[in-house]
């Protein structure tokens, strides 16, 4: 309020009434608040009562608000410094945490190596009494090839199929010679491919149970008119005898393949062309499949495998009249897989002086020559002669080395316990970080050869 801003001991100035100004009162006239202003007036002079003006309430002074704001501002600097300090502390803690979690060490190992010229016979077998274990690696791929048929051919072929000849006549067996005629409905004749004995019928009380024998038959003449679905047959040789009604044949398969004339038909030559077209893509597919699916620890020498190609399906069948043939080509891969550990140990023990607990590998095994002396895929045996410059590399247990490095304060002493390590270097990532991780997954072992 107005009284708050007045200094102590200072009187508030009085308001000058407007009437005084309007009545023309001089500067020397008495103040309306002086005693003279209340003297009794002279007779005949009108009296005007002048009231003291009430002071108006003044607005809250602005300078007090400024003081309050200034007081707040004086503390904000200390709060800002406080937040900066703890923010920096949190950033350092977060960085330490991230480095401790994601930082790692790269342990670069140069193992002991030695190159030796070798020339050694190797006996491999899936059974005992051998130098190296052996297993047959097998894989297969299929491919459909459509082969156009453009050349006309003059062909004659008889329809063939299978039938069962039954004996419902007596319990005595009946011999039928090769070429026995069978007659289908319509009079078409087919002949048996070999001599057969039809077993005697069985008797169950007074009931006869026919017994039969299966035999291959072929049409009496070539031609597609002899191609026949499932059917029953009579035996013309028994005509005029009681056996005629009691001996009969029934189709086991359809009669197919009958053809005669000059036309385009599927032949073996067409199938062979389809197989030839499929060889290269099938061989490439098998190579990729073997590379990806070869079992761990198995080494497959060059020139120790074979691929066979066959037509697993031909549509339409051979000698059928057609403009094109769909041939499914089956490629089967078979390889002589050698046990890699046995192979490396056999070669190393023949040329190096090693202790029992001193494992050695051959880093360039695929560069050595494996001359195949003998092979038998059925018996699963093979003999080779291995020649070339073998690069032997001493081995060590990576998991054990990681555990020892984590547990030890003096890591130089750790490497001395591993004779397979010729040189070692520990690289921290990032480079200025010097806390060795306790997690084995953050200890990266990298092997390099002496050549780099």
Residue 39 burial (C-beta neighbours within 10 Å; 0-12, 13-18, 19+): exposed
5-49 residue pLDDT tens: 333 344 444 444 433 343 444 444 444 444 444 444 444 444 444
3-state helix, strand, coil in the chain (%, to 5): 30, 35, 35
Q: Does residue 122 surpass a pLDDT of 90?
A: yes
**Secondary structure of residue 326 in the 3-state scheme:** strand
Beta strand 174-176 with 160-167 is unpaired
pLDDT of 283 reads 97
Calpha distance 166→169 (Å, rounded): 9
Residue with the larger pLDDT of the pair 64 and 309: 309
Alpha carbons 362 and 369: distance in angstroms, whole number = 13
To the question of pTM greater than 0.75 for the whole model, the response is: no
Distance CA 333, CA 293 (A): 13
324 neighbors 149 (Cβ within 8 angstroms): yes
Kindly give the residue spans of alpha helices, DSSP state H, lying in 219-318. Answer: 243-246, 268-293
Taking only the tens place, the pLDDT of each residue in 229-248 is 999 999 999 999 999 999 99
Q: Which two tokens stand for residue 26?
A: 């001089």
pLDDT band at 91 (very low <50, low <70, confident <90, very high): low
**pLDDT value at 63 more than 50:** no
Residues listed for the chain = 452
Nearest to 273 by CA among 161, 115, 103, 150: 150
| Whether the Cβ atoms of residue 264 and residue 322 lie closer than 8 Å to each other | yes
Contact between 424 and 444 (Cβ < 8 Å): no
Please name the residue that has the structure tokens 């602005």.
62
Confidence check: pLDDT of 317 > 90: no
Query: How large is the average pLDDT for residues 385-396?
Result: 96
Confidence of residue 87 (pLDDT cuts 50, 70, 90): low
């Amino acid at each position: 309020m107005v009284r708050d801003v007045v200094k102590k001991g200072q009187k508030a100035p009085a308001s000058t009434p407007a009437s005084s100004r309007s009545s023309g009162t001089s500067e020397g006239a008495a103040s309306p608040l002086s005693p003279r202003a209340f003297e009794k007036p002279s007779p005949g002079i009108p009296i005007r009562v002048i009231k003291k003006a009430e002071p108006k309430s003044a607005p809250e002074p602005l300078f007090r608000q400024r003081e309050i704001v200034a007081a707040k501002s004086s503390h904000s600097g200390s709060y800002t410094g406080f937040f900066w300090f703890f923010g920096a502390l949190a950033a350092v803690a977060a960085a330490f945490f991230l480095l401790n979690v994601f930082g790692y060490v790269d342990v670069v190992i140069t193992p002991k190596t030695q190159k030796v010229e070798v020339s050694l016979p190797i006996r491999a077998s899936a059974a005992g009494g051998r130098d190296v274990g052996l297993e047959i690696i097998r894989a297969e791929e299929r491919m459909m090839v459509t082969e156009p048929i453009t050349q006309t051919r003059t062909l004659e072929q008889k329809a063939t199929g299978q039938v069962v000849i039954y004996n419902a006549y007596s319990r005595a067996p009946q011999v039928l010679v090769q070429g026995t005629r069978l007659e289908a409905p319509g009079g078409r004749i087919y002949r048996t491919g070999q001599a057969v004995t039809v077993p005697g019928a069985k008797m169950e009380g007074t009931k006869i149970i026919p017994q039969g024998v299966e035999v291959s038959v072929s049409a009496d003449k070539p031609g597609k008119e002899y191609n026949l679905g499932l059917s029953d047959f009579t035996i013309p040789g028994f005509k005029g005898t009681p056996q005629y009604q009691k001996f009969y044949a029934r189709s086991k398969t359809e009669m197919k393949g009958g053809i005669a004339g000059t036309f385009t038909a599927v032949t073996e030559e067409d199938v062979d062309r389809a197989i030839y077209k499929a060889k290269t893509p099938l061989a490439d597919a098998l190579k990729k499949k073997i590379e990806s699916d070869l079992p761990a620890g198995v080494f497959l020498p060059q020139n120790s495998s074979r691929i066979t190609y066959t037509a697993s399906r031909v549509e339409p069948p051979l000698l059928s009249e057609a403009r094109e043939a769909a041939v499914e080509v089956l490629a089967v891969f078979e390889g002589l897989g050698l046990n890699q550990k046995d192979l490396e140990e056999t070669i190393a023990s023949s040329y190096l002086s090693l202790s029992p607990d001193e494992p050695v590998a051959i880093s360039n095994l695929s560069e050595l020559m494996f001359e195949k002396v003998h092979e038998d895929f059925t018996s699963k045996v093979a003999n080779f002669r291995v020649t070339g410059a073998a690069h032997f590399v001493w081995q060590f247990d990576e998991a054990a080395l990681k555990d020892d490095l984590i547990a030890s304060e003096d890591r130089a002493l750790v490497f001395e316990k591993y004779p397979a390590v010729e040189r070692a270097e520990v690289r921290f990532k990032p480079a200025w970080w010097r806390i060795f991780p306790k997690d084995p997954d953050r200890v990266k072992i990298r092997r390099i050869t002496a050549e780099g």
